[in-house]
Structure 1
Amino acid sequence: MNIHKFAIIALLISLNFSCKSKIITPKTPQNTYSNKMKLEYIGVAAEHKGMHVWGSSPVIDKEGKVHLFAAQWSMDTQKDFSGWFKDCEIGHYVSDSPEGPFKYVGVAVADKDGLFNSPHNPTVNYIDGKYVLNFIVNENNKLKTQRIVMYVADDLNDTWKPAKGAEADGTILRKPKDSTIWNYKAILGVSNPSLIKFKGKYMLYHKSVIPREKRGGAYTYGVAVADKLEGPYVIQPKKVTPPNMALEDAFAYTANDSVFMISRDFGSTFGNSGGGILWRSADGFIFPKENAKRGYEDLAHYLGKETLEKGTAYRGKKDGHLERAQVLIINGVPAYLYLATGVQVKEGFGSSSHVFKINFK
């Protein structure tokens, strides 16, 4: 097993993890800003026979159990991995440990109809005494219609309800109609949300693919801000990431009066596109390139290429590029990192979510 060392910053949310744990006041350790950490591969976090399981987002409940909310769809319906935007649903998994094994509970958010199609890329938070689940949907398999939905709940029994500031179906963010906003001409709507609370404001980060001058699109992130957890959210005029620096699947968090993101290094800025980038911002509105660095590597880096060569690449190559970074925080520090890959070595299973343990040096 290979272990990769990388710098990552303590996150905001503080959870007391025990058999009878309670949510306590967030508290960030004082000496974690410059501490180096090492990433240890643990194993598969969530998988489901006959299905693709994509990025899984963790949260700890009031009894200390770890819940994962993951995108999933049948391997039979779409042979080319396009089920993520055609037939996806959000599955619910639970375990007594962040390392698993995780037991499948059931469907948390179903694929309803053509107008609420294929709920995907969930991210879950516990903020202000409520559980918050954000995810994307589209209309009739059309990627240009992607939008973000926000559900809230008082427990994790899948009693989710649309946020008060959202539309009736929970839609909290759409492509803007104001031509002065950075993603007014977004090719694929708004997608891949990540939510934080920072200095009394609620900040919903989101991706848009905006047209390039010559051809194609630039994968870029912006932020929408609200005064209340359940919205409404207003997209800010300017994008938050640098031009000519593509990224995907950004997960945002806060520490030491700064905002941080972990994203996929989609444009191979600091290495191959199978790894990720760690970003830092002073205010959450600008993430400069000089404050960014390599955050993690592809799966082959940790397991060895020979392990994955025997598998099937349902998405990407057999190096096992890792996507959808989501972090579990315990007692104010990052404890486990969950990442998805399209390479599978087990027969009958599709893509899966993997878990890494984060240790301070």
Structure 2
Amino acid sequence: MKLQQITLILVLMLFISCSKQAQKMKVTYVGNAASNEGMHVWGSSPVQDKDGKTHLFAAQWSTKTQPKNFSGWFKDCEIGQYVSDSPEGPFTYVGVVVPDKDGLFNSPHNPTISNIDGQYQLCFIVNENNDLKTQRIVMYVADDLNGPWKPAKGGEADGTILRQTKNPEVWNYTARLGVSNPSLIKYKGKYLLYHKSVVRKEPKGYVYSYGVIVADNVEGPYVHNPTRVTEEKMPLEDAYAFTMKDSVYMMSRDFRGALGNRGGGLLWKSGDGYSFPAEKTVRAYEDLQHYVGEEYLKDAVSYRGKKDGHLERAQILFIDDKPAYLYLATGVQVKPGYGSSSHVFKISFE
């Protein structure tokens, strides 16, 4: 075989290999999204209403709670709602959607909002009495973003849709921090709820991984897919699932700096929604400093992470069925009197 033919074959193989990877994403910084004086605002999950207004659902708690650390997120958190005429803001605080009830329904956190089949679904996590080992996932549903919100019919009376499994044949049976960080999609007629667990890693240690539960109805009941959807060799955190061009994607924090520093994120791709191979994963975004510059953050307060601004809790707003805006949380704040907040980015895919 001639050298030119070999070269052509290698180029074609490279092209085919690259085409199977997640699409590259262009990210443009817009500015601050949800913030609230005297509060930590962590993550902002966006959706548009029938009038085109953008609503954000975010975890929030007082900066006076546990002021020397960030532990208020699992002790005194609630879910707040913000609204704007534009996806780019400014956003106005509306009020509390899910209050902290303490006890067995403690500290609702990490909300993600979806609009499936003409109904809104709000998924989030709670724990029992500040104990992270008891984390579970709750689903509320509503016909209007202003409520009333009701527990999903296929869950428990309080809306609990997923607890840690008691089945030793399911991938996260060994989870040490329950189940958390839900993300819901509809794909090929099924409803898939992705979730995180911290599971045992052989021969020792633990690893952050994701799995999925599946239902025929958006309100459940849901059934475990017995195997995890991500690989042990590439841990992740805060994954947000979505569909694009007949594939399923997840955007997550690059938890261990697999493809760059730990302040950025990853874009995962799956052909069936049940397996996200590490080799198809690409870098999605960088830390906040990459977009705003070191000078902008020189006097910033870091409530969580380094001063370069780790960006976490990726959530995407779709407009005309296309991903248009990305919302990310950071523990770095430049505005006096405010805690952590979220930032908005304009995005497009090649």
What is the identity, as a one-letter code, of the residue corresponding to 2:197? Answer: S
Q: Which residue does the alignment assign to 1:206?
A: 195
In structure 1, the residue matched to 2:34 is: 46
1:61 paired residue among 49, 58, 61: 49
Q: Secondary structure at the match of 2:329?
A: strand
Shift of 1:35: 7.2
Partner of 1:223: 212
Partner of 2:325: 336
Could you tell me how far apart the structure 2 residues matched to 1:234 and 1:91 are? 30
**For the structure 1 residues 214 and 305, does the alpha-carbon distance in structure 2 shift closer, same or farther, using more than 3 Å as the test?**
farther
In the alignment, structure 1 residue 161 sits paired with structure 2 residue 156: no
Secondary structure in structure 1 of the residue aligned to 2:33: strand
Question: Cα RMSD between the aligned structures?
Answer: 1.3
- Give, in whole Å, the separation in 2 of the partners of 1:310 and 1:34: 36
Matched-pair contact (CA < 8 Å) for 2:22–2:269: no
Q: Work out which of the two has the higher radius of gyration on C-alpha atoms and give 1 or 2.
A: 2
Aligned to 2:117: 128
* Cα distance, 1:305 vs structure 2: 1.7
How far does residue 333 in structure 1 lie from its aligned partner after superposition?
A: 1.1
In structure 2, the gaps of 5 or more residues are 1-20
Q: Distance in 2 between matches of 1:158 and 1:110?
A: 14
Residue of structure 1 in register with 2:174 after alignment: 185
- Partner residue in 1 for 2:61: 73
Q: Is 2:223 the partner of 1:257?
A: no
How has the CA–CA distance of structure 1 residues 37 and 250 changed in structure 2, closer, same or farther, with 3 Å as cutoff?
Answer: closer
Note the C-alpha offset of 1:212: 2.5
In structure 1, how many angstroms separate the alpha carbons of the residues matched to 2:327 and 2:60? 15
TM-score by length of 1: 0.89
The aligned amino acid for 2:34 is A
Q: Secondary structure at the match of 1:301?
A: helix
Among the aligned pairs, what percent are the same residue?
Answer: 70
What runs of 5+ residues in structure 1 fail to find an aligned partner? 1-32
1:194-219, Cα deviation, whole Å (9 max, x unpaired): 00000000000000001223543200
1:258 is displaced (CA, Å) by 1.1
Q: What amino acid does structure 2 have at the position aligned with 1:223?
A: V
Q: Give the helix-richer structure, 1 or 2.
A: 2
Contact 2:49-2:55 at 8 Å conserved across structures? yes
Shift, 1:39, TM fit: 1.2
Q: CA deviation at 1:159?
A: 1.0
Post-superposition shift, 1:38?
A: 2.2
Instruction: State yes or no: 1:235 paired with 2:224.
Output: yes
Measured against aligned partners, the alpha-carbon deviations of 1:304-342 in whole angstroms (never above 9, x if no partner) come to 122112100000000101000000000121110000000
What is the number of equivalent residue pairs in this alignment?
329
Q: Which residue of 2 aligns with 1:147?
A: 136
Q: How does 1:315-326 map to 2 (within 5 A)?
A: 315-326=304-315
Quote how far apart the aligned CAs of 1:359 are.
4.2
Residue 168 of structure 1 aligns to a residue in which SS?
coil
